[in-house]
């Protein structure tokens, strides 16, 4: 029987240090492991063994490498998750399981605009009212979006695939159903786009990456199926940074509609760009470490990152099984609530998804909520401080008593190598086959090198990082025990990484414009599974501003 308690910290490097990384990944299993290789691994991991201990390790390390070779012969598609499920809930936390009716504000009387182009910037609720009042058909609205995608998509580099045939068929069905009295709700007949990591049968799902640009996954992601059931119309697969990083994909760099000289940020690059430019009323995005918050900020849209374990990721590309989250990118907070209401909840496939209610009610008074703010982050010197300070003043003027809040003092940024390890596992075959050389971005900070780095992290240190993560979760629970929601600068502090690690939800909303006319944002963070109160608070603030009603001038 093989010894079970081998020093796992050494395993990843035993061949790499003596014979080169390529030999470790692709070389023959019979290449001998030496004491010099073990000594090199000790140096990298900050360990120290005696020569006798190194002698004792040789046989076990050889056997362990044979185990690796055996495991690598098993086909592991990207959709196979590890038998380890991340749970963001700290011990003792309980949740209200009462389900209440979903409520939204009335958009009032809505008319078609005299200038049809203005229709591009109507909210989901406004468009829904037009469709239900028979002032526009889903087919008309769908053709309108398809025309804009064709006109502006190439310049913005935000579209991977138009799903025109599918969209028109779905729109025709939506119109026929409504005529027959079959109303699927607020999203009935509303066009949308999806980040191109969500599978849709019959269409390419490229993950934005050269090695996968011809990939077809013949299934529907759960979120796509749920939106279809809600009557929404898929008009486009939108660009994403290659394998969910940044805004560079195999077709170029996705552009910010406010300034096409800059990228849209990422990795939900096309989703943010297309919504900001009025090409689609809403789009699906994902976030692991800022991929909704960052492009929502840059492009001036409203982006919801739900609690980890709220929305099924079945049929979506896996990057980090313990950190990936799916959320909508829209014009308004309430649009985000409408889309989220259609996609959240268990599906029996993604076993991390909790069965908890979403009791959104826009009538909740902001003054009745306990609102915190990250005092130290707002007081530091940073470029957009004046805009964020104005946001705090506006909240106080709305009757909010802001409670100062400080984040746990743990090595938050140092924990983010968890993503590198999980991503390296998700794309292990890509690395070992050397097909990572096909990717657009190479170099130290690009995925190919990060995947290689992830290969060389010990299992011990990965688990130790997750143990510190458990402490972080517990400490955050203590800091937030008397808080419903808190306000934070969207970027530039530890909060973004921290809340992605702990799984907390947030919504990022427009909050002004820089000196050169590009959008700025502010972020509201909620309790775990507390999207309802968080969105109600953010809506109250958004309604007191008009930043979300402004849109870019698409004349280039």
Name the H helices within 108-259: 124-132, 138-156, 164-179, 222-229
- H/E segment holding residue 64: helix 51-72
Please give the span between the terminal C-alpha atoms of the chain, in angstroms, as a whole number: 69
What are the two backbone dihedrals, phi and then psi, of residue 4, each rounded to the nearest 5 degrees? -90, -25
Residues 6+ apart with CB under 8 A from 250: 206, 208, 209, 210, 213, 242, 440
Cα–Cα distance measured from residue 513 to residue 550, given in angstroms and rounded to the nearest whole number: 10
Which two structure tokens, joined as six digits, stand for 113?
């605009």
Residue position matching structure tokens 């789009």: 283
Please identify which of the residues 291, 312, 458, 490 carries the catalytic annotation: 291
Measured distance CA(127)–CA(452) in Å, rounded: 47
Token readout for 87 is: 């749970």
10 and 45 Cβ atoms separated by less than 8 Å: yes
Place of tokens 């950190």: 323
Q: Is 499 helix (H, G, I), strand (E, B) or coil?
A: helix
Angstrom CA distances, 374 to 71, 478, 490, 525, 536, stand at 46, 15, 11, 11, 20
**Starting from the edge strand earliest in sequence, which strands make up the sheet with 159-162, in order?**
159-162, 233-238, 191-195, 283-287, 325-330, 302-305, 506-513, 519-526, 485-489, 371-374, 403-405
- Do 199 and 219 meet the contact criterion of CB atoms below 8 Å apart? yes
Query: Which residues are CB-neighbours of 449 under 8 A, at least 6 positions away?
Result: 442, 443
Tokens of 344: 């959240």
Burial 139-152 (b: 16+ CB within 10 A, else e): bbbbbbbbebbeeb
Catalytic residue status for 267: yes
Looking only at the bridges linking them, the beta strands covering 403-405 and 485-489 are unpaired
For 114, the 3-state DSSP assignment is coil
| Cα–Cα dist 307/499, whole Å | 9
Active site residue 195: yes
Q: What SS3 state is found at 185?
A: coil
Identify whether 493 is a catalytic site residue.
no
Q: Which of 18, 123, 138, 267 is catalytic?
A: 267
Q: What CA–CA distance (Å, rounded) separates 235 from 503?
A: 30
- Report helix, strand or coil for 409: coil
Which of 123, 128, 138, 195 is the catalytic position?
195
Kindly list the catalytic residues.
195, 267, 291
């Amino acid at each position: 029987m093989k010894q079970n308690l081998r020093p796992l910290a050494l395993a990843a490097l035993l061949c790499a240090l003596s014979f080169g990384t390529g030999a470790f990944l692709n070389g023959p299993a019979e290449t001998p492991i030496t004491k010099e290789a073990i000594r090199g691994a000790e140096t990298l991991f900050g360990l120290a063994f005696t020569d006798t201990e190194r002698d004792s390790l040789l046989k076990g390390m050889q056997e362990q490498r044979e185990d690796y070779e055996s495991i690598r012969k098993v086909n592991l598609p990207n959709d196979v998750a590890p038998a380890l499920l991340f749970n963001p809930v700290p011990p003792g936390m309980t949740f209200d399981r009462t389900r209440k009716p979903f409520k939204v504000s009335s958009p009032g009387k809505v008319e078609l605009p005299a200038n049809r182009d203005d229709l591009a910037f109507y909210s989901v609720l406004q468009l829904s009212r037009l469709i239900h009042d028979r002032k526009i058909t889903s087919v008309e609205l769908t053709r309108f979006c398809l025309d804009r995608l064709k006109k502006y998509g190439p310049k913005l580099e935000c579209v991977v695939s138009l799903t025109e045939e599918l969209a028109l068929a779905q729109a025709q069905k939506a119109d026929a159903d409504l005529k027959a009295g079959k109303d699927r709700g607020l999203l009935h007949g509303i066009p949308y786009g999806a980040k191109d990591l969500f599978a849709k049968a019959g269409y390419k799902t490229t993950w934005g990456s050269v090695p996968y640009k011809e990939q077809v996954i013949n299934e529907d992601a759960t979120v796509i199926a749920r939106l279809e059931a809600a009557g929404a119309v898929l008009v486009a697969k939108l660009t994403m940074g290659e394998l969910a990083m940044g805004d560079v994909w195999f077709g170029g760099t996705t552009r910010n509609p406010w300034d096409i000289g800059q990228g849209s940020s990422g990795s939900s690059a096309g989703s943010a760009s297309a919504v900001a430019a009025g090409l689609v009323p809403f789009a699906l995005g994902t976030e692991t470490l800022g991929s909704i918050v960052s492009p929502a900020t840059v492009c001036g849209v409203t982006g919801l990152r739900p609690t980890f374990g709220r929305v099924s990721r079945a049929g979506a590309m896996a990057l980090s099984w313990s950190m990936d989250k799916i959320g909508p990118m829209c014009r308004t907070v309430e649009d985000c609530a409408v889309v989220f209401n259609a996609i959240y909840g268990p599906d029996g496939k993604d076993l991390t998804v909790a069965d908890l209610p979403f009791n959104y009610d826009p009538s909740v008074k902001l003054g009745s909520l306990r609102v915190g703010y990250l005092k130290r982050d707002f007081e530091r010197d940073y470029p957009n401080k004046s805009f964020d300070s104005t946001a705090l003043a506006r909240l106080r003027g709305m009757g909010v008593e802001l409670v100062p809040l400080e984040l746990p003092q743990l090595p938050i940024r140092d924990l983010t190598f968890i993503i590198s390890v999980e991503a390296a596992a998700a794309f292990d075959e890509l690395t070992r086959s050397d097909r990572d050389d096909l990717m657009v971005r190479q170099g130290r900070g690009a995925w190919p090198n990060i995947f290689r780095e992830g290969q060389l992290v010990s299992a011990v240190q990965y688990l130790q990082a997750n143990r510190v993560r458990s402490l972080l979760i517990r400490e955050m629970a203590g800091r937030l025990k008397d808080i419903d929601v808190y306000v934070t600068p969207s970027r530039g502090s530890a909060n973004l990484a921290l809340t992605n690690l702990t799984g907390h939800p947030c919504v990022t909303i427009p909050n002004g414009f820089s000196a050169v006319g590009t959008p700025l944002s502010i972020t509201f963070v909620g309790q775990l599974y507390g999207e309802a109160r968080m969105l109600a608070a953010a809506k109250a603030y958004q309604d007191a501003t008009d930043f979300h009603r402004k849109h870019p001038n698409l004349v280039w």
